[in-house]
Chains A and B, each alone.
Chain A
């Protein structure tokens, strides 16, 4: 009895895909070889000859490994991006932005800081204090999914990236569509908005995400230098 699974696993040992994908590929190819072998046995071939003929299904295992890697590369990339960036990022965004209206409903009063003349900035201090926690959560979920350093940081600060995108896309669009917005918006007001909705929340999220990213960098370094 041939162990086709073990054979395929050893031949595709260097296949650079995630463990789950590799298991699927190995199981599928081993199943195929097994069926070829069984069919040849049914036709009356000896075990040895049937195994030899089944093995002829692949003449160059390295080439097969290369072709599978090429085919699976994009899938892996997309899958990893979802697990390591989009999911933790959106989780951070939903939790952090969802909390603010809840706090407002509970009677949260913003701290008003006078900025420049009539301009004022609103700081929702209790909400800002929770942001390091969400930043750390997003970074941790990304870390657990095997995310690289950049994905860990981006997942942690994802809410402000979305807000920044809104600012720099929606605001210029609104100005083009409605000239009165440009008339009412001053530079000081715009900078105030940037400070209260992007810079300060971003810093708060970063405070939470940075230690996780440093932890990841330390782990990666210790793995690179096992003797150190």
Chain B
């Protein structure tokens, strides 16, 4: 079983990485993460928003209401803050190290 801390860490990395390409609202964020990870990472509303609010609290992302020009729908779009950008590279490095270590340990490798 994956511990909550590990799960949260991957989820935060996923959100920060997806926002690096530009601002997104919650639904679109969840959809793109699912699409880009081929369904390996899925965010339900219940998992996504408390995490987004926490990340906003820490100053890594900033949300603002925007109205879509095409649908006229009002959505809260999140963008990466300078603090979030700064957080992303060490987080990536930590996860790369962790996965590298796990790979060496379990001898799982790409064929």
Which of B's residues lie within 8 Å of A, judged by CB?
Answer: 25-27, 44-46, 48-51, 53-54, 56-57, 65, 73-76
Asked whether A57 is an interface residue with its Cβ less than 8 Å from the other chain, the reply is yes
Asked whether A109 is an interface residue with its Cβ less than 8 Å from the other chain, the reply is no
Q: State the CA gap A57–B54 with chains docked (Å).
A: 19
* Chain A residues, CB < 8 A from B76: 24, 27-28, 31
Contact partner of B50 (CB less than 8 A), chosen from A32, A59, A70, is A70
Taking chain B's interface residues, is the majority helix, strand, or loop, or is none over half, making it mixed?
helix
* Chain A residues, CB < 8 A from B73: 31
Contact B53–A27 (Cβ < 8 Å): no
* Chain B residues, CB < 8 A from A60: 46
Contact A58–B44 (Cβ < 8 Å): yes
Beyond contacts A28-B75, A31-B74, A32-B48: 11 other A-B pairs, Cβ-Cβ < 8 A, are A24-B65, A28-B49, A31-B27, A31-B75, A32-B27, A33-B45, A59-B46, A68-B50, A71-B57, A75-B53, A75-B57
Contact B50–A35 (Cβ < 8 Å): no
Asked whether A67 is an interface residue with its Cβ less than 8 Å from the other chain, the reply is yes
Contact A64–B26 (Cβ < 8 Å): no
* Count of chain A to chain B residue pairs whose CB atoms are closer than 8 Å in the complex: 57
Contact B46–A57 (Cβ < 8 Å): yes
Q: State the CA gap A85–B13 with chains docked (Å).
A: 37
* Chain B residues, CB < 8 A from A24: 65, 76
**Number of A residues whose C-beta is below 8 Å from B?**
24
A168-200 Cβ-contact flags toward B at 8 Å (1 or 0): 000000000000000000000000000000000
Which of A's residues lie within 8 Å of B, judged by CB?
Answer: 24-25, 27-29, 31-33, 35-36, 56-60, 63-64, 67-68, 70-72, 74-75
Contact B54–A71 (Cβ < 8 Å): yes
Contact B57–A64 (Cβ < 8 Å): no
Contact A68–B53 (Cβ < 8 Å): yes
Nearest-CB distance from B4 to chain A (Å)? 12
* Chain B residues, CB < 8 A from A27: 74, 76
Q: A28-B76, A35-B27, A36-B27 are in contact. Are A57 and B50 (CB under 8 A)?
A: no
Q: State the CA gap A60–B53 with chains docked (Å).
A: 18
Q: 7 A–B contact pairs at CB < 8 A?
A: A28-B49, A31-B26, A35-B27, A36-B45, A58-B46, A64-B49, A71-B54
Nearest-CB distance from B7 to chain A (Å)? 14
Nearest-CB distance from A118 to chain B (Å)? 55
* Chain A residues, CB < 8 A from B25: 31
Question: Which single residue of chain B is at the shortest CB-CB distance from A8?
Answer: B45
